[in-house]
Structure 1
Amino acid sequence: MPKLKLISFKLCPYVQRTVITLLTKNVPYEIDYIDLNNPPAWFKALSPLGKVPVMQVNDDQVLFESSVIQEYVDEITPPSLHPVDPLVKAKNRAWIAFGGELMGMNGLHGIVHEQDQQACDQIIASIRGLLERLEQVHSGERFFNGATFNLIDAAYAPMLMRFELLKSHCDLDVLEGLPKLQAWQRELMTLDAVQNSVVPELPQLYRGMISHYDGVMAKRLK
C-alpha cells in the first residue's frame, strides 16, 4: 500500500470526499491542514492550480483534483465502491460531476458568499432546480443506487452535511419538499465514515465562515 498524504484546509468539502472513501475502506492516511489564504511555499510547488485537495503518494508523486484523488484511492483498494455495471458507473460519474457544480460559486458556496439578496435568491432557485433533477434520479432507497454505499454517496455527503449546517445556522432548508434527498442526507449523516471525515469544530468553523463573508446568510445567523 502506498503512503498517502492529503493537503487541504479544515473547511474543504472536496477533500472530505476522499477522506470518507479512505475511512470506508479502512485505508491509513495522513492529512495536513494549511491556511489557503497564506499557503506555504512548498504547497505552491505541489499544486499546479494552487487549489486543494492535493495528495502526495509515497512522498514523491502528486495528485490533484478531488474526483481524480477519490478514484485513485478506490482503484488501489479493491473491491471498488463504484457499481459494477459500466453504464451505471458512467452515469454515477456524471452525477458526481453534477454535484461538484452544486458546491461552487453558482451553488452552495455562492449562497454563503453572496451579499445581494436578489442574487442570493437566484442562486437558491437555481440550486433548487438542480436538486429537483437529482431527486428524480435517486433510487429512493438507502443510498443513491439502492442498498449499497457507493463512491457517489461519498461524493455527495460533504454537500449534504453543509446543507444541514445551513439549515441549523441560517434556517435555510434547500432540501425542503425533496423527500428522497432528505432521507439520503439523514442516512449519510449516521455513518461513522462521514462523521469522522471532518474536524470536530466544523460547525463552528462553518458558522465563522458565513459570518466572515458578511453576506445575506450572515444576516440570518441564529
Structure 2
Amino acid sequence: MNPPALTLVSHLLCPYVQRAAIALAEKNVPFERVVIDLANKPDWFVKLSPLGKVPLLRVPRPDGGGEAILFESNVICEYIEETQGGPRLHPQDPLQRAEHRAWMEFGSAILADLWGYETTRDVGVFEQKRQALAAKFERVEAALAGGPFFAGERFSLVDAVFAPVFRYFELFDTLHDSHVFDRTPKVNAWRLALRERSSVRNAVVPDYRKHLRAFLEKHEAHLLTLASGD
C-alpha cells in the first residue's frame, strides 16, 4: 500500500491542527500525522515553517518537483476543500461561501479569547475573557438556524473550525461552571452534535484531556483554582 500523499504536521493540543484533521477526515483523505513539541522544535520544522507554528500540510507537487508547504489552518482547509473529493464543506453559492469564511474568522477570534481564559492566573483577566466569550457565543447563537450543524443538516468548514473550540469546554465544564453558554441553547445543541461526530472525536489523541489538564497545571491557570474551591 502506498503511503498517504499528504502529511499534517501537528501538536497534541493545537486547535488549528484539529481543523485540518477534521476536514481531511470529512473528505475521507488518508494522511500521515507527525506530532512535534513546539517547546522543542525540530530543526527540520524550523526550516519548513515560516511562522514556526502548526499546522503545516506537506503536499507533493503534481509535477514531481518536490513538495509545497502550506501553513495557516484556514488556508489548509480551503486547499483540502478545493482539491479533494468527498462531500463539499463549503456552500456552492458565492455569497453563502463568503459568509461561512467570515464565521471561520470569527471562530479564530473566539480562540484568541480562549487563550487568555485558559492560561491566565489573574482573576480580572479571567472574568474579562469569560464575558468576551459569552458575548461572542451569543453572536453565534443569533446566526444559527435549525441545526444540528452550523448551516443545518450539512457539515461544513465552519463546523470544523468551531469543534476544537467547543472541545476545550469538555474539560472546562468539569472544572467550573463558567455560565458562558447560559443564554445560547442553540450553541449548546450544536456543540453536543459536533462532539458525537467521528471526524471530531478522532481529531485528537485519546488522552487529549489529560494533556490539556497538564497544560493548565503548567500555567497555574485560574480555572484550576476555581476547580479546587480556593
Match of 2:96 in 1: 88
Q: Report matched runs for 1:115-130 at 5 Å.
A: 115-130=121-136
Q: Report matched runs for 1:5-154 at 5 Å.
A: 5-58=7-60, 60-78=67-85, 79-104=87-112, 107-154=113-160
TM-score (norm 2): 0.91
Q: Which deviations, in whole Å up to 9, do the C-alpha atoms of 1:126-168 show, x marking residues without a partner?
A: 1111111111011132111111111111111000111222112
Larger Rg: 1 or 2? 2
Counterpart amino acid of 2:148? R
TM-score (norm 1): 0.94
Q: Distance in 2 between matches of 1:173 and 1:21?
A: 30
Identity of aligned residues (%): 41
Match of 1:172 in 2: 178
Given that residues 166 and 173 in structure 1 are in contact (C-alpha distance below 8 angstroms), is that contact kept between their aligned partners in structure 2? no
Q: Distance in 1 between matches of 2:29 and 2:223?
A: 37
Q: Distance in 2 between matches of 1:191 and 1:80?
A: 16
Q: Distance in 2 between matches of 1:158 and 1:174?
A: 16
Q: Report matched runs for 1:210-221 at 5 Å.
A: 210-221=216-227
Match of 1:157 in 2: 163
User: Structure 1 residue 191 and structure 2 residue 211: aligned?
Assistant: no
Report the Cα offset of residue 173 of structure 1.
4.4
Q: Distance in 1 between matches of 2:214 and 2:175?
A: 10
Structure 2: runs of 5 or more not aligned: 61-65
Q: Distance in 1 between matches of 2:55 and 2:174?
A: 27
Number of positions where the alignment pairs a residue of Structure 1 with one of Structure 2: 220
SS of residue paired to 1:112: helix
Structure 1 segments (4+ residues) deviating >4 Å? none
Given that residues 131 and 180 in structure 2 are in contact (C-alpha distance below 8 angstroms), is that contact kept between their aligned partners in structure 1? no
Structure 1: runs of 5 or more not aligned: none
Q: Distance in 2 between matches of 1:191 and 1:57?
A: 26
